Structure 1
């Protein structure tokens, strides 16, 4: 009520998150679980295991997501262009404001005849009153013995036995074995129900099997099974398939459980009105947690696609950097070689200018008494003491008159 008032208030300004949350609530409350058919396009199987695709017909299309916890139960993988029938609920991806369908089950088109047969039998049995609450038998609060009707090799049997042992190990269990899948199995299931009813050894019967396709569960949609359940004198709990699987057996049975494990919980002594309320709360919380997990999972898929683009850019930059490093190495090597050549040339030039090299050729240079280089005879006087520097050392000398050396 508060949300509706907020929407209608002229002064209320919604945030985008509030608007999208309200839109999701309205859509999900307005559309129950339904079937839709179309052609698959733009199919993407994400690394997370989720499937993203569109369902389209000649006039429109709608975005769809099938999460891993749903598509893992399929016995086939769809591809582009497949004509399919999908069981779905309307969903709204708040983070991006996108309308979409959350697919619970997917099958190839052409199974419509099975659903027509299912609906015809459902309407027929309903009109005869087989689904009426008046025929539903109450469960014993403290059953002395529990019967199970299923295959001895079924995984569902192990789940049920494990649950019964955990909740009330003192209650004896009787198995009425029967195949639960294959041609002609409906007759065998009905026979097992009749046997359990006539022997009257148990206070409650659990009819169960694991999940599967509509063909796998079809024996529980057969009229002979429905009438055997209706005629049984012992209360029957139907625990067939998964939470979203509904069979004719579910409608006729005295109680319907979403899974075989839940059927075992319903049959045990502490199952009462309070527990029924707790189960409703548990299922509501479970759906909300699943939505939050799936929502975050979609966000992760979206971010992973964005991350791929920066990774490609990083690779391009890395390649560019490698090229620049190679060019820098080549340029550095060339520059070093040029400088080494110049150093050699300068060394040679320096060697030519080295006074020691001049002395090697027989020359000498003159220093006065102060050790200063004498570069001109004008600065010398007769009798002045000087030093003559040769290549292998120096010696003292005295300046004599130049006339002494004239011929």
Structure 2
């Protein structure tokens, strides 16, 4: 027996209970005719007996043919992820519940599992699982109410990384002022790479750029980005690393909210500049990186200095150096002249003092000299052999000797 589930005629047009079999068949054909006019699938031909499989197959055909894909709102209960990757849960309402399944390919896009009792809405098709005769919703998309699953996954990962200290400002490293080589992790075909190259070529054309290519969105993108970051670190060629991409939806940017990418950034041996999306976009990569730039172009500006500004600064430094050199030379000349004058004065003073000391010593020596004694009228007897005769015993009678006077000498003879 077939019922028109969407008929506007109401319950009064349904075959009343207790009618005989012929009247039931007539009513069923009438309802089937109205369904055919409305575009619904035609009823199966009458048969004497239906199997359970036939009933389930017919019910599934009717349900899938009648009910379009729809958004269903409710609370999540008993969310389970099987080893196969398929997810099973129940949506509950105030007075009803609906069993749901999300196949592996769709479940991969979930940022995290919804919490028990979380308000969500699910997009899917209502069907019947024929093997068990269970009514269920095959979910293609699952969204959280309010801030949603994306925010929940973001907060869970951020709390875990905060607990490990990976987002602490204390571990942030400064970006080198004059990098010789800049590494870039992004898509080789994206606008972000073009922007980074253009800015670096304009500001610091002497800087080398090394690309470690990776897909930046879609399934598997997070793993590629993490591997690309580690390749740059292992190569040891870059002084600073830019990791990023252009703007997009939350789902497009989700690779940069992945734990593998966050840990690869934290383990990078060189400072990392995160440049994901636009200024309003914020990712886990921004929290772990040493510096967050609002756009890839801004990241390139932060990575390299402005060549024109460097030239102006060099010219200013050259002028200051020349001025300082001149001032230092003038000071040195002045100090040398002052030192020369001081040395001359000190030499003159010292020489006069030494002369006075020498004169005093000469006076003392002269006072002690035998010549000074002779000058006072004394004479010194000296033998012909030149020996000074000091006592009477030194004089032999009749022996000649000389008397040494202050000026000259005379001959004498002892009597």
Per the TM superposition, whether the score is higher than 0.5 is no
Flag the structure with more relative contact order, 1 or 2, with Cα contacts below 8 A and sequence separation at least 6: 1
Instruction: Provide TM-score, normalisation by structure 2.
Output: 0.39
TM-score (norm 1): 0.39
Find the structure with the greater CA-based Rg: 2
